[in-house]
Amino acid sequence: MRTVETEPRTEQSSDTNGARVRRLFPTKRRGARTRNRIIDAAAALFAARPSDKVTVSEIAAAAGVFPNQITYHFGSKDSLFIHSAFALLLRDAGRIEGVGMRLSTAEAFRRAVARTVLVTPSLPVVISALALARAKPALGPVVKGHLSLLFRMSERHLENVLGLRGWLIDRSSRQEVKTFWAAAFGAILIAESGYPGTHADLDLAGTLTIRERG
């Protein structure tokens, strides 16, 4: 997830702390850029190798920062891993949305979105991040924040699709997207566990209630 950068303030202040305030905001902007650069570098490494095979030194070198800057901005490599995993998923989510928008029937939309999600390369990385947070409860708030963002983005996209196409769902948009993503995570977890079978054995599309009117 890319951190929103704060633009530096340009207004003048008559307060005695005005000069200090004007210096502070550019510093925050640089900090946001550094965080983004670290996440981008870490995401590329975590996408290629398991997290335990990636070192903080490698991430720092790839991002062009010092290792202690990673600790400063993220607290630990585990926290950075979660941020990076969801950054990968949010990028993939944009491509998933593009697939769905090209289809004209609700059934085709459901099937295409489900099929695309099941082969999304970032999902196994996110599953590992979720497992890590389960083992280390202190990381729970990090996961909660990213899941909330994912659900909000998905809900907004779903509502846009429903509005454009005039389609209906049988429950709230929040329930629709949370049920879908929970099923997708579970499907990947089962596949990663080594249970025999393929994605064709799963009816992820069946978790969506999107349908035409009438």
pLDDT in tens, 129-146: 999 999 999 999 999 999
Give 12's pLDDT tier (boundaries 50, 70, 90): very low
pLDDT above 80 for 179 = yes
- Rounded to two decimals, what is the model's pTM? 0.81
3-state helix, strand, coil in the chain (%, to 5): 75, 0, 25
What are residue 168's DSSP bridge partners?
Answer: 211
Supply 190's token pair.
Answer: 């089962």
Say how many Å lie between the first and final Cα of the chain, rounded: 39
E strands in the chain? none
CA distance 42 to 16: 41
Cα 121 to Cα 45, 89, 97, 188, distances in angstroms: 13, 8, 15, 10
3-state secondary structure of 168: strand
Give me Rg for the CA atoms of the chain: 20
Least confident of 72-86, 108-122, 197-211: 197-211
- Within 13 A of 75's CA, how many CA atoms are on the CB side? 8
Residue-averaged pLDDT of the chain = 86
> What are the tens digits of pLDDT across the range 101-136?
778 899 999 999 999 999 999 999 999 999 999 999
pLDDT above 90 for 155 = yes
Residue 4's pLDDT is what?
A: 34
Q: H or E segment at 140?
A: helix 140-165
Note every long-range contact of 95-103, with CB atoms under 8 Å and residues 24 or more positions apart, other chains counting. 96/120, 97/157, 100/157, 100/161, 101/161
